[in-house]
């Protein structure tokens, strides 16, 4: 646990924490299968995109590649399929091979007492939940999926930075809706939401994604992005329910003022748990069948 009097001789700054991370690591259960698919088969766009979107690290890389092509038109690439079409299979193959050769895999987040699979599962279920909510609320589905997938990217940056200084530290167990925010702020002076927003801004993601992630803990405080931030916080609740142990008590629902911009009732939100569980079951079956 985090000692009450912990302090660093030189306080960490947001810039130092985010500057040390130029990409997210990849999921051990996805990257090898994608690498094999690209090497040994004649994959379709659907096959490649279906796997790519299940890996936060590879998704960041391919969207940044796609956005480099679309930037000349003043656009951002938020769909994996659009990014693949923009850069071509050869470029995707080279990128995936480079990451696989470098063995840039996710590892446990020691500060948060999370193993790599738990972090991956949380990222994917939040992306699926955000996608489900966007379909209901009439928001852009690719944008919602991306911000759900990358909502906790800041945890990776903080974990790496703190781990270099105090590798034995761990934070108190998290709970929706604040997660680790209070402990993070006490330790480094900012939250993983702040770090994640700074990362995605540096990686030239659109302001809609950046600000939704920045305001995920206090969505109604966001100037101009309250609806997307509310969607993200609600997606995090759905993810927490889907990922919870069967014997665990469900977290409290988002407050009504967060649900209101999405035109959601508690009853409708409860029904969405089933939808997200079905989607997550399909993802789990896909990754397990490929690995078999």
**For range 80-90, the mean pLDDT:** 91
CA distance 18 to 246: 36
The per-residue pLDDT for 212 is 98
Angle at 247 between CA 244 and CA 250, to 5 degrees: 50
Residue 150 in this model has a pLDDT that exceeds 50? yes
Start-end of H helices in the chain? 14-19, 31-40, 45-52, 56-70, 80-87, 89-102, 116-137, 141-149, 153-165, 181-188, 192-202, 207-214, 226-243, 256-259, 266-291
Lowest-confidence pick of 1-5, 110-114, 241-245: 1-5
How far from chain centre, in Å, is Cα 224?
22
Q: How many Cβ atoms from other residues are within 10 Å of residue 269's Cβ?
A: 19
Q: Where do the domains of the chain lie, and which CATH numbers do they carry?
A: 25-106 (no CATH), 108-292 (1.10.3210.10)
Q: Is the dihedral of CA 256, 261, 267, 269 positive or negative?
A: negative
Tell me: pLDDT of 1 over 50: no
- Per-residue model confidence (pLDDT) at position 76: 80
The residues with which 40 forms a beta bridge, in sequence order, are none
Instruction: Tell me the pLDDT of the chain averaged across its residues.
Output: 90
When mean pLDDT is compared across 101-105, 125-129, 281-285, the lowest value belongs to: 101-105
CA dihedral 71, 74, 79, 85 (to 10 degrees): -50
pLDDT score at 131 = 97
Q: Coil, helix or strand for 109?
A: strand
Q: How many CA atoms lie within 13 A of 123 on its CB side?
A: 28
Which of 135-149, 161-175, 186-200, 213-227 bottoms out in mean pLDDT, i.e. has the lowest? 161-175
pLDDT band at 172 (very low <50, low <70, confident <90, very high): confident
């Amino acid at each position: 646990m985090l000692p009450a009097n912990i302090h660093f001789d030189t306080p960490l700054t947001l810039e130092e924490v985010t500057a040390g991370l130029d990409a997210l690591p990849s999921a051990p259960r996805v990257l090898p299968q994608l690498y094999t698919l690209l090497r040994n088969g004649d994959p379709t766009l659907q096959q490649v995109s279906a796997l790519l979107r299940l890996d936060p690290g590879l998704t960041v890389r391919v969207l940044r590649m796609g956005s480099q092509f679309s930037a000349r038109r003043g656009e951002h690439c938020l769909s994996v399929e659009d990014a693949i079409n923009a850069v071509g299979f050869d470029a995707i193959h080279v990128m995936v091979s480079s990451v696989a050769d470098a063995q840039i895999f996710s590892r446990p987040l020691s500060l948060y007492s999370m193993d790599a699979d738990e972090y991956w599962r949380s990222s994917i279920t939040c992306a699926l939940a955000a996608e489900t909510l966007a379909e209901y609320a009439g928001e852009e589905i690719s944008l919602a999926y991306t911000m759900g997938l990358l909502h906790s990217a800041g945890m990776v940056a903080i974990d790496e930075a703190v781990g270099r200084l105090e590798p034995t530290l761990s934070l108190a167990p998290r709970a929706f809706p604040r997660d680790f925010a209070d402990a993070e702020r006490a330790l480094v002076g900012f939250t993983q939401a702040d770090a994640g927003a700074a990362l995605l801004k540096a990686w030239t993601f659109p302001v809609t994604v950046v600000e939704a992630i920045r305001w995920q803990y206090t969505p109604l405080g966001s100037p101009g992005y309250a609806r997307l931030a509310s969607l993200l916080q609600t997606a995090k609740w759905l993810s927490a329910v889907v990922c919870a142990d069967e014997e665990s008590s469900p977290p409290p629902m988002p407050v009504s003022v967060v649900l209101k911009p999405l035109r959601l009732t508690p009853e409708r939100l409860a029904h969405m748990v089933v939808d997200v569980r079905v989607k997550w079951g399909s993802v789990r079956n896909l990754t397990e069948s490929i690995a078999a």
